[in-house]
Structure 1
Amino acid sequence: MENISSKEMPRLYRILDEIYLVLDQLGEEVKDDFTVIIGGKDEVPFDVLELKDRVKHEITKEEQKDLDEYEIDLKIRPYSAFKPRIRKYDHPYNGKLKIEFKDYPYHAYVKDTNKGQLEDKISEIIINFYKEYISVRNERLEREYEERKRKEEKERKNQKAKHVNDEKTRVKKLVTEAHDYQTAMRIRKYATAISDEKYKEWALQKADWLDPTVAKDDEILKSRDYSKDLKEYLDDLLKIEDEYDW
């Protein structure tokens, strides 16, 4: 509406009223600022402007005064005289209105012509609103499709990273279990050579605690966490014990 002369504003309001009535009957939404929503979610952009004529510019008194001063300066100071810039043409509004649909692939528009004014072309205008809607909707669907692809790809990468991390965790646990199993077997073999029965019993209990095939809970060391190697587990256990005030 910034490109409409005040003279044509009342007429523009009448045209917009007619467009509103038709769109409203078709079940579409037209907001107070005449934002048109078609299909319940897609805003259909359009512009309304008044056409202009191209006429030869008539020099104003002020411009003629500037020209006269320039002629005088030209005679006195020919190398420093500055000729005023005066446009050759004016572009006055001519009372002809035009509705444009810029997002439509063919830059559709409906305008006043000798064969009819916009008031006589409401059906054509409505059809162009729906053509524009199809273009806007397709662009939105394309954006949504690309966004879904982006999210799916991100999710795929996240799942792959999670799978790799889970596998690494399982391998680490497997290595720890194998190492603890070997250690447990060595302790049991060593226990056969221990003469101190009390110490021998204690060593065998620790072997059962270390051995993942037995995984016996220890009264002091609790359940063995095979996601950590033995040193890491004992260090963490020591940290927990240090938190208590004995």
Structure 2
Amino acid sequence: MAWQWFYRLGSPRWFYQNSSAWLPWLAVGSIALLLVGTVWGLGFAPQDAKQGNSYRIIYIHVPAAFLALAGYYIMAICGAIGLIWKMKLSFMVMRAAAPIGAALTFIALFTGAVWGKPTWGTYWVWDARITSMLILFFLYIGVIALSGAFSSEQSGDKASALLALVGTVNIPIIYKSVDWWFTLHQPATLKLTESSTIDPSMFYPLITMIIGFYVFYAWVLTLHTRSLVLQREWRTQWVRELLGAGPGNKTASNTANPTR
């Protein structure tokens, strides 16, 4: 039963038909959490004793950085599942996760540069954390480029999955860079095994924003994956019926294949 459920979860048709029920909940949840966290963090959290109001960019920077790392693992795991069990949906999720992760990594780099100017006196330094995050951005771009570099979708999927798996070695380097090398970045403030060093009045809105970003990520990833399902499964009968393409309806058939 477990294996049957596992393979059913990997079915593009099953995912598309069932994920429509998730979308309203993900949309409402992400918008509500992000709205509450933004107002709470920017309007009601106190100023930092040393950085003043400039620290408030953490409510965007930290969640974006968290999701950039977690999203890469999601992308790599989906690539591994596709390579091992030949599941088409996992490759679609991998491809959908790549541009989202690249955007989040860019936001983390950009907000970090904006935060660095008043804090360090410069927008950019080639320290271990920033450099490894830049490498992460290039890895995302590499996966996106490889996925479209082959005439065969299967070849592009396999090449992208291999690059995603190789790139996972960069994630622990990013996380531990502040401990392994001298860097301008402070040590981790949010810790799983130890008490956090951030004041609760700043911590709670930050946690709200992090959760909101995760829910938003799930929402956008689901939407993008659904789009890829239609794009890549346009020849199947269930997609043709979904889009109103009968056997003799050439107009609807062309609509079902946006890349044709």
Normalising by structure 2, what TM-score? 0.22
Bigger strand fraction = 1
Bigger helix fraction = 2
